[in-house]
Structure 1
């Protein structure tokens, strides 16, 4: 194992504990290096033997700090990421030293995984960001704090460093309950929800297939809270009895479960147009449409879901930032056809 202290002086940080210093070493360093590393990253560095106190290597994060202690942190160079960078075009909405905001197209997988080890958003971000990635957990990779399904388009944010990653992760974990985080989606659904505005509060869990989800009873072992707010903003083919052939719905998430909007809308009887997993039983609805509209709907081969707005607090400046992703061409074509009903 290489000695982290046999590195160039430029890769070290040397600190002296001031008068009154106390508490755990990892907590003290987290405060002293708050602009550089998260506490979890510092704890890992201590356990790796990269921190010395008064010339003695310390491997216990809970070691106490005393006034006058000379603390040296050896900073290993971030490792190359396991996924490799790939020159995949990206639609960047905003970028700075801490984060990158982009509009993900439908068809692009976010993370490498079984069946998709290359050609993902992570591969694209590694190539695009290059040396501006200071590393997440010691690896030069983008910190993806939320996901969109492969066939869902829309705005996403990724962190470039540990501090930004932690700050953004905390916001997404809070789901905007105490902060400015907001996520809004546009969905095109079959029929029209009975209520034009409502809240779907239905726990979700696995549906046998590891990739699919279903509404579960609260007492189910894998049931996880899931809350979606929705509002009907446009109706297509509306009839005198207040029903409609389809509708455009705006959804806002109070939680962020896998396939949440897709499952919740299907649960209330209004699955997304084009959804192969939760709306397949409604494919015959297209037979009720005029031939031109039917052809357009049948040619739409993904769930009609677009994450059009994302708002969050910038991890360094504290500024509330709001981004909107334009509606992609395929969904514009679908909406234009439905508006002729």
Structure 2
């Protein structure tokens, strides 16, 4: 394949029929690894007979036509950008921000620019790049793109190592506020293991095998018209989409969640018309990282940060009250 951007077409014949599609494509192309082919398929770059195909383990059948495309190469390193940040605290070792909804944490396919990492490179300047790795400098934890709230970022290797260990040891105090459909008990916890959803690889799910242990504790803060709950969630672990997956699995998906809320919930019928429309039209998951506490890696002092609900979340809450 002389041009890496030229789509590769595989017409299935007797030679490759019965193989996995990722293995067959890697062997046929000959210049990229099977793991790279698998990633491209999962990212949506494969078509089968003109339709999207995203299962790397699909078994080939005679006569099928697969076309694998290749995304435009991105810079090897993220570039500094002038993106405003709401800074809660900063010293030579770390920076704490109130991340706005819509800001991706680090560059990834489809979001190569305009990320928090780009903003941090622009704000911190030389010396910050490479703290913890070129692609994710300083990142010791992350918030989903459309989750707002408190994040801490390391600016030195000392801080990166200490904070990474603290997150791994669960020595971080984290509290989130979320609006979920239905009414939850006053307190409780979810402890289902989380892994990739076998039916949709872009989603996570509570699984019985091959998952990672996950524990979320919650407390009911308020409720609206017996239809929506405002809950505080505390993470004992930090799995991908953990709060969203656990609440959805229990029948209480987050208001506005574009991934785990697949249909209009029955609880919506209990809301007044204006409140129902506001909740159903909310454009993101109603999830906010409200509090973060940790031990400063150099001074040993306990630092705690709290942020108020962002304006869109607050406006939604007011609509539900009214």
Pairing 1:275-294 to 2, within 5 Å after superposition:
275-283=257-265, 285-294=267-276
- Which of 157, 163, 167 matches 2:162? 167
Please list every run of 5 or more consecutive structure 1 residues that lacks an aligned counterpart in the other structure.
1-79, 238-243
- Distance, in Å, in 2 between the alignment partners of 1:141 and 1:230 is 30
- Deviation at residue 142 of structure 1 after TM alignment: 3.2
Q: TM-score, normalised by structure 2?
A: 0.73
Pairing 1:102-181 to 2, within 5 Å after superposition:
102-131=97-126, 133=128, 135-136=130-131, 142-176=137-171, 181=172
- Distance, in Å, in 1 between the alignment partners of 2:301 and 2:261 is 40
- Distance, in Å, in 2 between the alignment partners of 1:124 and 1:116 is 13
- Which of 82, 89, 92 matches 1:94? 89
- Deviation at residue 113 of structure 1 after TM alignment: 0.5
Alpha carbon RMSD of aligned pairs, Å?
1.9
User: What are the superposed Cα offsets for residues 186-228 of structure 1, whole Å, 9 maximum, x if unpaired?
Assistant: 01011112x21011111011003333110111xx1x2110000
- Distance, in Å, in 2 between the alignment partners of 1:81 and 1:165 is 22
Q: Does 1:183 align with 2:171?
A: no
Is this contact kept in 1: 2:78–2:134, CA < 8 A? no
Is this contact kept in 2: 1:97–1:132, CA < 8 A? no
- Which of 243, 267, 272 matches 2:254? 272
- Distance, in Å, in 2 between the alignment partners of 1:149 and 1:212 is 13
Which residue pairs with 1:302 in the alignment? 284
> How many residues are aligned here?
247
- Deviation at residue 132 of structure 1 after TM alignment: 5.5
Is this contact kept in 2: 1:133–1:141, CA < 8 A? no
Which residue pairs with 1:314 in the alignment? 296
- Distance, in Å, in 2 between the alignment partners of 1:304 and 1:165 is 29
Q: Which one has the largest radius of gyration?
A: 1
User: What are the superposed Cα offsets for residues 21-71 of structure 1, whole Å, 9 maximum, x if unpaired?
Assistant: xxxxxxxxxxxxxxxxxxxxxxxxxxxxxxxxxxxxxxxxxxxxxxxxxxx
- Which of 197, 202, 205 matches 1:207? 197
Which residue pairs with 1:236 in the alignment? 224
User: What are the superposed Cα offsets for residues 67-119 of structure 1, whole Å, 9 maximum, x if unpaired?
Assistant: xxxxxxxxxxxxx9810011111100000000000011111110101100101
Consecutive aligned runs of 4 or more in structure 1 exceeding 4 Å deviation: 137-141
Which residue pairs with 2:3 in the alignment? none
